[in-house]
């Protein structure tokens, strides 16, 4: 229990990712006072001297103990604005189940695509404006079992006893853990380039979809592992690598892939190559990826001829000051990033396109930002690039993808279109037919 300007806040209160207005409601209920004096006291302390009282991150931060710094931002959806397309935010909603067991209102419930509570599997209900405008909130002392019940929208703030119990029992901690997972999923989708394609509205759902990236995002996906690779471009090679060296290093990777990794997959490689002639034939994910990877870097990739980098590729890469080591890593990362994007997409969509950008040789290094377009033309020279890749978790999972015994691991490539026999799943409420990406 902590005291802040005469107001008391229990240990582990507030709960991160609880909407700011709901946090203030509970703070008022716990202290048995209207919200206004709390905002005034904490808000002024944080030097927000505006005439209209609003709940700010700074005022919420004061409800946290000194051992829980920098958590205030989690109560506002601004936290995820950098990830999501414009228009993703909608009307604030609440879950009756959450309101009853803890008074928790996830900030993510404000997203249009989140229509169901991921924990209670209940449809979310819209909040009225009076409930969301938190500073006018007053607990109702006349109610027997709760601190507040809105006659208009049905939103409620539970009793002090329920709020305290939800903090002690670990219920709130569990909600934080899965909300944190949702943030991690957003970062993953950013890396996989699917957020650019997100349908923020999606169709109206009358029932909770069984599979939908939106709700799956609240739980960890055990099949996906995070792999890290660093490319250090701080000290360029002196003298610069001769132009022929780029092709040599590139060839080493292609030879490794074709002879070692895909040695037993000669048919896959031949079938993938046939796709350049508009023939659709089955191959495995690794062979399909290699074909598309080579199409980006070479004018006419062929199994019979030695790989030869395009002139534009050599020119673009020369400007970056690669050393032998960083160049080798660059090619590997570029291949595996393509693999991760293809592998992820077929979970949701049975076909997608890969759009080649010939001027797009080093997008892979850029930090997470909403749209891929803005990366173009930026120099990455002189920096250390820490790259994260989302790939099958563990060697056994990698081998399963390489075995391609089942239909799900078989790809049909026709030029830059990729197809599988998988069924379409919903992605954020919509069928992900448009999950193509730039490469």
Using CB under 5 A, which residues numbered 331 to 370 contact Zn ion?
Answer: none
Q: Which is nearer to Zn ion, 128 or 208 (CB)?
A: 128
> Which one, of 377, 434, 429, 433, lies nearest residue 215 by Cα?
429
What is the DSSP-derived secondary structure letter of residue 23?
Answer: H
Sheet strand arrangement including 351-355: 281-284, 410-414, 417-419, 351-355, 437-438
Q: Closer to Zn ion at the Cβ: 71 or 149?
A: 149
Minimum distance from residue 219 beta carbon to Zn ion (Å): 15
Told to check if 153 binds Zn ion by CB under 5 A, we report: yes
The strand ranges marked E within 334-394 are: 351-355, 384-392
Nearest Cα to Cα of residue 15 among 68, 56, 52, 59: 68
Question: What is the smallest separation between the CB atom of 134 and Zn ion, expressed in angstroms?
Answer: 12
* C-beta closer to Zn ion: residue 119 or 431: 119
Which of 58, 150, 237, 316 is close enough to bind Zn ion by CB under 5 A?
A: 150
Kindly tell me which of 74 and 166 has the beta carbon lying closer to Zn ion: 166
Of 132 and 380, nearer to Zn ion (C-beta) is 132
**Residues between 89 and 148 that touch Zn ion (CB under 5 A):** 95, 97-98, 117, 119-120, 128, 131
Binding residues among 231-270 for Zn ion as defined by CB under 5 A: 265, 268
Nearer to Zn ion, 128 or 397 (CB): 128
Angle, helix 243-255 to helix 324-345, in steps of 10 degrees: 50
Closest alpha carbon to 65 in 3, 6, 7: 3
**Distances from the Cα of 437 to the Cαs of 2, 264, 345, 378, in angstroms?**
50, 29, 10, 19
Smallest separation, CB 247 to Zn ion (Å) = 26
Q: 9 phi and psi, to 5 degrees? A: -130, 130
By CB under 5 A, the residues from 273 to 292 that bind Zn ion are 284, 287
Least separation, in Å, of the C-beta of 91 and Zn ion? Answer: 12
363-398 CB burial, b ≥16 within 10 A, e <16: bbbeeeeeebeebeeeebeeeebebebbbbeeeeeb
Residue 93 CB, nearest approach to Zn ion (Å): 11
- Output the smallest distance, CB 26 to Zn ion, in A: 15
What radius of gyration do the chain's Cα atoms show?
Answer: 26
The residue from 81, 136, 152, 324 that contacts Zn ion (CB under 5 A) is 152
- For the bound state, the minimum distance from the C-beta of residue 97 to Zn ion, rounded and expressed in Å, comes to 4
Q: Would you say 29 or 364 has its CB closer to Zn ion?
A: 29
Closest CA to 108 of 214, 36, 190, 209: 214
The residue count for binding Zn ion (CB under 5 A) is 16
Residues found near Zn ion in the complex (CB under 5 A): 95, 97-98, 117, 119-120, 128, 131, 150, 152-153, 155, 265, 268, 284, 287
């Amino acid at each position: 229990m902590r005291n802040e300007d005469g107001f008391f806040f229990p240990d582990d209160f507030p709960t991160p990712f609880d909407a700011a207005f709901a946090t203030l409601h509970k703070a008022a209920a716990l202290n048995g006072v209207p919200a206004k004096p709390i905002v005034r006291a904490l808000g002024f302390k944080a030097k927000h001297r505006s005439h209209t009282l609003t709940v700010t991150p700074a005022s919420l931060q004061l409800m946290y103990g000194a051992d829980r710094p920098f958590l205030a931002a989690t109560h506002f959806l601004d936290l995820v604005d950098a990830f999501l397309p414009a228009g993703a935010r909608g009307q604030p909603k609440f879950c009756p189940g959450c309101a009853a067991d803890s008074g928790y209102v996830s900030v993510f419930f404000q997203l249009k695509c989140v229509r169901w509570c991921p924990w209670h599997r209940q449809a979310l209900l819209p909040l009225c404006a009076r409930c969301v405008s938190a500073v006018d909130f007053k607990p109702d002392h006349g109610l027997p079992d709760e601190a507040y019940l809105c006659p208009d929208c049905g939103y409620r703030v539970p009793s002090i006893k329920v709020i305290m119990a939800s903090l002690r029992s670990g219920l709130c901690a569990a909600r934080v853990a899965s909300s944190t997972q949702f943030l991690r999923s957003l970062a993953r989708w950013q890396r996989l380039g699917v957020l650019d394609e997100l349908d923020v509205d999606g169709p109206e759902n009358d029932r909770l979809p069984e599979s939908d990236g939106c709700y799956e995002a609240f739980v960890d996906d055990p099949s996906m592992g995070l792999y890290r690779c660093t490319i250090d471009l701080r000290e360029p090679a002196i003298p610069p690598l001769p132009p022929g060296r780029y092709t040599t290093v590139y060839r080493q990777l292609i030879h490794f892939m074709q002879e070692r990794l895909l040695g037993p997959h000669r048919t896959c490689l031949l079938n993938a190559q046939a796709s350049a002639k508009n023939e659709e034939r089955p191959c495995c994910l690794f062979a399909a990826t290699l074909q598309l990877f080579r199409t980006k870097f070479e004018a006419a990739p062929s199994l019979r001829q030695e790989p030869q980098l395009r002139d534009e590729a050599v020119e673009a890469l020369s400007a970056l000051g690669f050393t032998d080591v960083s160049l080798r890593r660059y090619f590997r990362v570029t291949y595996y990033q393509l693999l991760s994007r293809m592998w992820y997409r077929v979970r949701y969509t049975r076909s997608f396109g890969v759009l080649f950008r010939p001027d797009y040789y080093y997008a892979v290094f850029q930090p997470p930002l909403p749209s891929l377009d803005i990366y173009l033309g930026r120099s990455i020279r002189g920096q250390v690039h820490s790259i994260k890749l989302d790939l099958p978790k563990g060697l056994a999972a990698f081998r399963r993808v390489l075995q391609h015994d089942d239909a799900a691991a078989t790809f049909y490539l026709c030029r830059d279109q990729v197809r599988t026999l998988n069924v379409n799943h919903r992605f954020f409420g919509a069928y992900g037919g448009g999950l193509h990406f730039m490469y």
